[in-house]
Structure 1
Amino acid sequence: MSKRTKYLLLACLVPVFILLGMTVKPLYTIYNGEEILLQTIPVDPSDPFRGDYVSLRFEVEEVPLNLVDQEILDKRDTMYNAQVYVSLGKEGSVYSPTKVSLHKPSKGIFLKGNLQYFDKSWNPVSQKEAVEVAFINYSIDKYFVEDNTGLEWEQASTRGDIVAKVKVFNGYAYLTDIMMED
């Protein structure tokens, strides 16, 4: 095999290995992660060009400030897009945040996310008035559904009647399924 052929073969294989490498973390999480349920909160999707999908927001994305470490609150003006760890505790059948920290927890189930900003939130399902929260992004906000079922899921989403099944491994979350609450 000539040197030129080896370089051509290498040039063709590099993108293949990169694409295969991108699937390792999600697949490992699906097979070895712990399955948890997360409660959604109402949201109205507004993109008709993507097919049938449900845009999801989770209660764990809006964490009350009393659960945020003081270290984060002291630097709140410089914390945009900072990586944080959100420890979770089980409340009934779903998991809710118990603490937000800059440091990875040594035990228990946690999510790794990016702190977006601090603001007031008003969730009509669980709160009677606006409370100040930390908004955290976990990149698990869209789920594509079977054709011609999008309207039903959208209506359930606007009511906050969807529970998401998520696999979690070492803070990485992968959305595997959604279910309507009865």
Structure 2
Amino acid sequence: MNKRAKQLVLACSVPVLILLGMCFAPLYTMLTGEEMILQTKPVDPSDPFRGDYVTLQYEAEEVPISLLEKAVVTRLQNKGGQFDVYVLMAKKNGVHTPIKVSLEKPDNGLFLKGTINYIDKDNQGQEIAIIEYNLDKYFIEDNTGAEWEKASAKGEILAKLKVDNGYAVLTDITTK
């Protein structure tokens, strides 16, 4: 093979390797990750251009400030802005809920890596941290959107995830 052909093969293989690399983390998580179930909150999707999908918001995205380690609160107060946190989860009544939020990756236990955005107040006036996990949309079969929208509005959807080392992949949704 001459030099020009080697360069062409190399140039064509780099994008392919990049695309394959992007697929590795989700596939590895799907195969080896532990299952987690999160409770969703009511949300009304309103984008008619994306086909049938369900927009999901999770109860675990609104974490009471009492579950944040002191270092997380200090960083929010001093620097503000968004930054990554680790949310340790425990299973209660068949659903995983946050029990601790820290800057350091937990040594053991099931946890999600998320991005803390800000501190707000919930409907009862208690301070909560708003954390995003990037698991907010789930595309569904055509012509089933109305059923899922009704279930979502009632907060009756459970999301099934596969989690590996804090990285999560939304695998399925079910109703209670």
- What is the distance in 2 between the residues matched to 1:101 and 1:158? 31
Mapping 1:154-169, distance limit 5 Å: 154-169=149-164
Partner of 1:52 in structure 2?
52
| CA contact 1:79–1:115 (8 Å) conserved in 2 | no
Partner of 2:126 in structure 1?
131
Partner of 1:125 in structure 2?
none
Mapping 1:1-182, distance limit 5 Å: 1-77=1-77, 78-122=79-123, 129-181=124-176
Q: TM-score, normalised by structure 2?
A: 0.96
Query: In structure 1, what residue type is equivalent to 2:8?
Result: L
Q: 1:85 to 1:79 in 2, by over 3 A?
A: farther
Give the superposition deviation at 1:45. 1.1
Q: TM-score, normalised by structure 1?
A: 0.93
Give the superposition deviation at 1:75. 2.2
Query: In structure 2, what residue type is equivalent to 1:53?
Result: Y
Output one character per residue of 1:101-149: Cα deviation in whole Å (capped at 9) or x when no partner.
0001111000011111111123xxxxxx232211111111110000000
Report the identity percentage.
56
Q: Which runs of 5+ in 2 are unaligned?
A: none
Divergent runs of 4+, >3 A = none
- What is the distance in 2 between the residues matched to 1:79 and 1:6? 50
Q: Which runs of 5+ in 1 are unaligned?
A: 123-128
